[in-house]
Amino acid sequence: MICVAFYKAPGNWADWIVRKWTRGPYSHCELVIGDVWISASPREGVVRSKTMPMDSTVWDVVPLNFDVAQVKTIRAVAEVEIGCKYDWLGIVLTQFVNLNRQDPDRWFCSELVTYLLQQTGMLPGATPHQVDPNKLYNELQGCCIERLDWHGG
């Protein structure tokens, strides 16, 4: 299974702030390939890849279809970013104050996931550091619906 998972559990004060500011149910997202979760984690403070079980009481998922080459590309690009710091300042300067400034060597969750998806050709018009988890969820919903319509489904 390949999907983007969106965090919907109550979480902590930071999750509450993100949800209120973005006016949506999600405060965090992760790209999931099999049982490997890839994201910039505010709780861990870095970009990381780890194995976790899927819990539908905590996460909503948007399934994605990628071929083997696209998955290899995502993994290779993600591997380069593993260990990069979480971009606390960037999230403030792009999401809350909207000065459109971020650190190219740091990431926040939806920025990284958007960037990784763009390596497969998805979301070509998105600017990764301007995407929050709720905006990403909505973009993927539109993308998947377009794909189904395009294939006649």
Range of the domain at 54: 2-150
Helices of type H across 8-152: 13-22, 68-81, 88-91, 109-118, 133-150
CATH of the domain at 20: 3.90.1720.10
pLDDT in tens, 63-112: 999 999 999 999 999 999 999 999 887 777 777 676 666 767 889 999 99
Token pair 């390949």: residue: 2
Give pLDDT tens digits for 44-55. Answer: 999 999 999 999
Which residue has 């970009």 as its token pair? 47
Tokens of 23: 């006016």
pLDDT at 144: 58
Mean pLDDT for all residues in the chain: 88
Provide the residue type at 24 as one letter: G
Q: What is the pLDDT of residues 122-151, one digit of tens each?
A: 999 899 999 999 999 999 987 754 433 333
Residue 28 has, within 13 A of its CA and on its CB side, a CA count of 23
Distance of CA 41 to the CA centre of its chain: 10
What's the domain count of the chain? 1
| pLDDT band (50, 70, 90) for residue 1 | confident
Res. 5: pLDDT tops 60: yes
pLDDT-based confidence at residue 60 (cuts at 50, 70, 90): very high
